[in-house]
Copies of this chain bind each other. A is one copy, B any other.
Amino acid sequence: MARKASLSGFPEWLPGERLVELHVLDTLRRIFELHGFSSVETRAVETVGQLLRKGEIDKEVYGLSRLQGDEPATAEDPNGLALHFDLTVPFARYVVENAGHLNFPFRRYQMQKVWRGERPQDGRFREFTQADIDVVGDGALPFKYDVELALVIAEALSALPIGDFKLRVNNRKLAEGFYRGLGLDDTAGVLRSIDKLEKVGPARVKELLREELGATGEQADAALALAAIRTEDMSFVDQVRALGVQDELLEQGLDELSQVVSMAVRRAPGRVVADLSIARGLDYYTGTVYETMLVGHEQLGSICSGGRYESLASKGSRTFPGVGLSIGVSRLVSRLLAEGTAVASRSVPTAVYVTLANDDAWSEAQDVAAQLRSRGISAEVAASAEKFGKQIKFADRRGIPFVWFTGSDGAHEVKDIRSGEQIPADPASWAPPAEDLAPRIVAN
């Protein structure tokens, strides 16, 4: 970030920086809507009971209490209020509450702030924006959606000025079936150990598998061999088979992952990798899992993660399976801004600054501006008739590319401040070049 946040972990952007963030949000919205996802917003506030429903929560939750009055919310009071820490838990509640009003499979996107009281560090904030997409079924949800969501996200991320990325895909069934086939029955435990691979390295993971899960050297080596498989094509299938493990769940996982990767090879070449080390240990996924790295910025962590839940939510005996991904918008935007890889061509929407020859000309100047605006050209009118030089300087300082002059004879001229070129112009028809109409986001 260019400036230090005045409250650690709570970033704020200058107007030019905000344009980069808006560009990211607008682009994601456009792609999601083109793919038929509906916009949903949930309240920022949930009950503590709702947030802690899944049991062990590794996110720090902010409770609420009115300064005048209330007892503060605590983890012990399920009716207390707290800020949501992600968009999945609130969406699950929304689906259950509104099931009678929704058509399933229900496709929604949701772009909102979330809060976590964690220690702030690079790329980790206490208040940040996420952009989620999910498809949720009623009772059942075809696997095809796991394939589709990988393609939608690859398309959405490709439309952002973020450079190259890799969407890494794995499948919990594949991994769990493999461990089971090996004779390691605490598959969740193995997943948790494998999840540490990037942090502590294979030697340490092997120790963990042997010490904590009682794995033999051969079992540990096989689990590590599986996690070492990473291919951009279908060759991962043969590599897994070469490890010689037989299991029904493994076969199902292999088939599912094959469907995702084979379609991605065809429809999003170079964007998707089968990466058998992806575990996402602490989340509640039951099949496909996704993670996304910015190439060259792997230390930033995943900028977009998700997966398949067999039961995103339930209502009595009715369950709602889902598959979805969540983009860390603030993490992405803060990186774009810090590296200067995306900048706004100007920081104001204004394309034309309409000057005043004298203070009585304000309403006619507004007429000029209104004609421009009616054709989608952003325009401001000077508030007082200072010397033209001063009015031009004001526009220049704000980055407005054009200034407009109306003579006492009613003749109009427009000046490009950058080139100095000044030409006669008609407010009913003149338009700036397309690239000057609105601020553009330029990738560096």
List residues of A whose CB falls within 8 A of some B CB: 3, 6-7, 10-15, 18-19, 21-22, 33-48, 60-70, 72-75, 81-83, 93-94, 97-98, 101-103, 105, 107-108, 113, 115, 117, 126-127, 142, 144-145, 148, 151, 263, 266-267, 347-350, 362-363, 366, 373, 376-381, 383-384, 397-398, 400, 438
Contact = CB atoms under 8 A, between A and B. Distances in A.
B65 A62 contact: yes
Contacts of A349: 33-34, 36-38
A285 to B, nearest CB: 19
B384 A144 contact: yes
Contact of A67 (B61, B97, B384): B61
A75 to B, nearest CB: 5
Contacts of A66: 60-63, 117
B67 A73 contact: yes
A29 to B, nearest CB: 9
**Copies of this chain, tallied across the complex:** 2
B72 A72 contact: yes
Q: Find the residue from A46, A70, A115, A349 having the highest chain B CB count within 10 A.
A: A349
The 9 closest A-B pairs by CB, nearest first: A72-B72, A36-B350, A36-B380, A66-B117, A15-B38, A33-B349, A142-B383, A144-B383, A10-B43
A75 B67 contact: yes
Contacts of A38: 15, 18, 347-349
A19 B38 CA distance: 9
Contacts of A350: 36
B39 A67 contact: no
Contact of A22 (B39, B45, B93): B39
Given A22-B39, A75-B68, A113-B44, A378 B12 contact: no
A69 B41 CA distance: 29
Nearest to A46: B7
A380 B67 contact: no
A98 B383 contact: no
Nearest to A348: B38
A12 B102 CA distance: 14
Contacts of A145: 383
Nearest to A129: B41
A377 B33 CA distance: 9
B267 A363 contact: yes
A194 B47 CA distance: 41
A65 B63 contact: yes
Contacts of A75: 67-68
